[in-house]
Amino acid sequence: MKGGILNPDNGFEAAVKNFLKDVMEKADIDALLLPFKNAVGDSFEWRLVTADKLAEASVVPPVIAVNGARALSSITRSGKSAMKIAALMRPCEARAAIELSKLNQCDLEPVVLISMDCPGAMPLQDYIADPEKVEKEFEHAAREWNNELIRPICRMCDIFTCTESTWCDADIHVALPETENNAVAFISNTDKGREVLEKVGIGREEELGDWQKKMNARIEERKAARKKAREELKQHVTGLNSLSDTFGSCINCQVCRSVCPVCYCRQCLFNSVKVHYAPDDYLLQAESKGTMKFTPDTLLFQTGRMTHMSVSCVGCGACEDCCPMDIKVAQIFSIAADETQKLFDYIPGKRDAPPPLRVYNEQELKEYET
Amino acid sequence: MMPQVITIKKSAEEGIKEFCKVLLQSKKVAGVLALTRKNRSAYYSLVTDPAKMDETTPLAPVMPANAATLLSRLTWEEGPPQPIAAVVRPCEERAFIERIKLQQGTFKNLYIISMTCGGVFPLKLLAQGEIENNLPQYYASLNKAETVENIRDVCKGCVHFIPCNADFTIDMLGRNNDSECAMVVNTDRGEELIKGIEYSIEKRDTPLLRGHEDKKMKGLIEHREKVGEQFYGEYHFGEPGMAGLSSALYKCVGCHSCSRACPICYCNLCNFNSEQHDTRFSKFASQLRKSGSVRVPPDTMLFHIGRLNHVSISCVGCGMCEDVCPVNIPLGTLFSEISKALQSIFDYVSGKNPDEDIPVSTFEEEELTQVQ
Amino acid sequence: MEEYKPKIIGFLCNWCTYTGADLAGTSRMKYPPNIRIIRLMCSGSVNMTYVIKALLDGADGVLIGGCHPGDCHYESGNYKARRRVAILKKILNKLGYDEDRVWLRWISASEGKLFAETVTQMVDELKKKGPAPIENF
């Protein structure tokens, strides 16, 4: 793997900010989309900014309060963008943005999408309860690989970086080779990315063999963690009884759906009159077992949502971060997503792969024909 | 005329379960909607088999959803084909009245059983499995008509703990509920319903019947009013002016859970989710030129102030919004305080009088001259 | 430091206030140019969400103009508008925003002078109040 290396004096965040400054000056970029700490300091927010605001940005915030793909989509969803934007976000968010662009919910043409090696994120609700404490924990956790305070969904994530085995289709990926002199490397994945790096003057590409080796080892670790998590979680969802238990405390608030970057429907089928039946039907249904959970159709919502979006699930964890009943939504959906994505050999976030449910092969999946 | 009071020599919870069982057994109702709490789960159950009432916990101090939304579904169009009884809290009953005014439900074939309410615990407590531990304290405070510390914030400031339109009201506040369930029959249709059922029915006085005139209730109302004001004033919205609101709303992630959980927000496609509120890129560009910084996704303030404008007049202060908010914005306090201010313009109390139109849906020819 | 020029957005009903404004124009009545007019068919068709949007997007004041009570071209539109404005003003007031930046005025088609006076008055008062202290995000 090759990338342009910068040897910064002041660490990762400073290196990235200098890079972004150069990008704006030399690569015809008009605005940046970055996370910032909000005015009262109790959370983080996305801002579209001009170069002079760069210094206040928070390059790797401790939490993903709003998924970057949602933020980007809100800007480029409606109307043609006349400005070129460079957007920096975690790999899962960048992948979600690419998925949304395939679903016509985000125009990436004027966007230079930049991802970075991700240390994981902290649970959002813990952060909201005590921002200072969790920020300190994150400072420590970000420096230590696989710290146990990072969210469970992050600790089973194997797409936190961009190597040849788990590439990320962002235009540019910022890598932390963690060499002796704390170098930061910029890898280009697309022509657009290459152009930008050349204009900025980090065109020279150096081998990142050590970094690649280290990342591959970590990816293997995470793949193993993922396998283990799959075995554990499967117990919670195998069979209707387990499924009912696991989702038993679900109150159908549907926040998981509304914060999911991939669930873009303005009105969800599972929140519409299509799933509201006549009172007679409910009484009949109740009579069959003598009682029924009302609000009904919790499992219909959960499994239905899974069938709709799991092929595009990037495991960002927004759902689990916001669930008021502490259900392991992200972990469960992510494991299910592995299986549905495998059916089509589909990797969400790969630019030139069309969404599986939009295309078909005349000769395929014969094993599913009964 | 002194109303009738049904007394069942069991605890309030066991008593109401038995009452519902009898209603089902005698086929007076085809179904009962009541809460069920099992460990960390809580949900409403629609019960048709009397034996299954045993599994329910109708008086559990939790609110996984405001029952008004569920009652709308159960009384859709012409209502259920056979009668249904529902055990719900006063704010849920009031929210349902508001919904009926919005053509989202009907009283037809529906009997409401409510109670004088001591509030509910936040969903977080349920998710952490802490409800059981808190029950003794809850009932102890309930018995003394005091407010327990860790219920929902809006409950701490709620003065509408006596139901307005229930057919039956379980008298709970300010009395011992361990061994006797006392239920007041409030309406004629309630009396009709229990005809022929063998129960100890007395005509007697209970604090509930004196309602707001009862000394304990009065004291509780005064205390709660102060708490509500305090919350809005300092605790949650400290700074004066819009700055306080802005400070509280910065961390909003735009999930719109508050709107989905709200019993009054009944729109299938919320206006603020529709294409009408998409922002064209040109607007971002011009804002960027002006100030060099644009927060995205946009329109957080517009959503909250807009929602206040749409529904707060009917707000019943149930606190669902606050409970489902993933970032703990004190929305319940905000909406219920604004609601009070709006209702005072029109001398309106949401959910109190089913025959009273919601103020925005009507008008007088001579009024509000000060607005001009 | 740029001089503060109050921006007013006017939601004017077609039959009365808009025509009144037109009359002010054809009669060459002078009034400050700070108002940006949006013509609607009736004050009762003013969606308050747009008033909120105007305030959030930087309007220093909003004027809603309609027919006098009893004279609405659609009979009851202005009565409904009055209630809606009462509610919005109360919300703004409770949130700490100066509700007197939102004006509801009945101006008929023949009251060109009243329209000019209204705008003049509003600009004067808004100048005294200064720019609207509101944050949009």
B24 touches A at CB < 8 Å: no
Cα-Cα-Cα-Cα torsion A170, A174, A177, A183, nearest 10 degrees, comes to 160
Q: How confident is the model at residue B364 (pLDDT cuts 50, 70, 90)?
A: confident
* B42 reaches A (C-beta below 8 A): yes
Query: How confident is residue B310, by pLDDT bands cut at 50, 70 and 90?
Result: very high
Do strands A172-175 and A184-188 pair parallel, antiparallel, or not at all (unpaired)?
A: antiparallel
In chain B, residues 306-345 whose CB comes closer than 8 Å to chain A: 323-324, 326-328
Q: Is residue C12 over pLDDT 70?
A: yes
Q: Please state, rounded to an integer, the average pLDDT across all residues of chain B.
A: 91
Give yes or no for residue A181 having a pLDDT over 70. Answer: no
pLDDT band at B207 (very low <50, low <70, confident <90, very high): low
* pLDDT recorded at residue A203: 72
Residues of A with Cβ-Cβ distance to B257 under 8 angstroms: 253-255, 258, 322, 324
Query: How buried is residue A365: exposed, middle or buried, by Cβ count under 10 Å (0-12/13-18/19+)?
Result: exposed
Cβ pair B363:C76 closer than 8 A? yes
Average pLDDT on B13-33 reads: 96
Question: What is the average per-residue pLDDT within B156-162?
Answer: 91
Enter the tokens of residue A16.
């990235």
pLDDT, residue A261, reads: 97
pLDDT exceeds 70 at position A79: yes
Q: Which residue has the higher pLDDT, B184 or A205?
A: B184
* Residue B187 and residue B130 in contact, taking contact as beta carbons nearer than 8 Å: no
Phi, psi (rounded to 5 degrees) for B115: -150, 160
- Per-residue pLDDT, A144: 85
CA distance B297 to chain A (A): 5
pLDDT at B372: 77
Please, what is the average pLDDT of chain A?
A: 92
Question: Does residue A179 have a pLDDT over 70?
Answer: no
Rounded Cα distance, A27 and A189, in Å:
17
Q: Which residue ranges make up each domain of chain A?
A: 2-229, 233-359
Give the integer Cα–Cα distance in Å for A136 and A133.
Answer: 5
Q: What is the mean pLDDT of residues B85-112?
A: 96
b/e map A268-298, b = 16+ CB within 10 Å: bebbeeeeeeebeebbeebeeebbbbbbbeb
The confidence band for A82, taking pLDDT boundaries of 50, 70 and 90, is confident
Task: Give yes or no for residue A59 having a pLDDT over 80.
Answer: yes
If 0-12 CB within 10 Å is exposed, 13-18 middle and 19+ buried, where does residue B77 land?
exposed
Of A149, A137, A81, A158, nearest to A349 by C-alpha is A158
Q: Best residue in A43, A122, A251 to probe B by mutation, most B CBs within 10 Å?
A: A251
Residue with token string 């994150």 = A138
Q: Which of residues 183-212 of B touch A (CB under 8 A)?
A: none
ipTM over 0.85: yes
pTM given for the model: 0.95
In A322-361, which positions are buried (b, 16+ CB within 10 angstroms) versus exposed (e)?
Answer: bbbbbbbbbbbbbbbbbebbeebebbbbebebeebeeeee
Three-state DSSP state, A74: helix
Give the chains touching B; criterion: ≥3 Cβ pairs < 8 Å.
A, C
**A123-171 pLDDT per residue, tens:** 999 999 999 999 999 999 988 888 999 999 999 999 999 887 677 789 9
**Which two tokens mark C68?**
């006098």
Judge: B43–A294 Cβ closer than 8 Å, yes or no: yes
More confident residue, B15 or B370: B15
Residue to substitute from A34, A124, A283, A284, interface B, most B β-carbons within 10 A: A283
Average pLDDT on A243-257 reads 93
- Tokens in use for A127? 């952060």
Of the pLDDT bands very low, low, confident and very high (cuts 50, 70, 90), residue A180 is low
State the Cα–Cα distance between residues B344 and A71, nearest whole angstrom: 40
Distance between CA B309 and CA C55 in Å, rounded? 14
Lowest mean pLDDT among A225-234, B65-74, B207-216: B207-216
Query: CB–CB of C104 and B371 under 8 A?
Result: yes
Structure tokens at C100: 């007197």
Span C87-137, pLDDT tens digits: 999 999 999 899 999 999 999 999 999 999 999 999 999 999 999 888 889
CA separation for the pair B57, B63 (Å, rounded): 12
Cβ–Cβ below 8 Å for B341 and C94: yes
Q: Is C95 on the interface with B (CB under 8 A)?
A: yes
- Span B281-286, average pLDDT: 92
Query: Two tokens at B139?
Result: 């009932």
Cα B100 from Cα C105, distance rounded (Å): 34
Task: Read off the amino acid at residue A287.
Answer: E
Residue with the larger pLDDT of the pair B311 and B369: B311
The answer to whether residue C2 neighbours chain B at the CB level (below 8 Å) is: no
d(CA C120, CA C18): 16
Collect all residues of chain B within an 8 Å Cβ-Cβ radius of residue A52. 292
Mean pLDDT of B327-332: 95
Whether cis (ω within 30° of 0) applies to the bond prior to A296 is no
Report CA A359 to chain centroid distance, whole Å: 24
Burial class (CB in 10 A: 0-12, 13-18, 19+), C88: buried
The confidence score (pLDDT) of residue B233 equals: 75
Of B180, B16, B4, give the one whose Cα is nearest residue B89.
B16
List of chain B residues whose C-beta atoms are within 8 Å of the C-beta of residue C133? 241-242
Which pair of structure tokens corresponds to residue B343? Answer: 């209702």
Mean per-residue pLDDT for A195-203?
90
How confident is the model over B240-258, as a mean pLDDT? 91
Q: What are phi and psi for residue A45, nearest 5 degrees?
A: -145, 160
How far is A177 from chain B, CA to nearest CA, in Å? 32
- For range A287-301, the mean pLDDT: 93
pLDDT one-digit tens code per residue, C22-64? 999 999 999 999 999 999 999 999 999 999 999 999 999 999 9
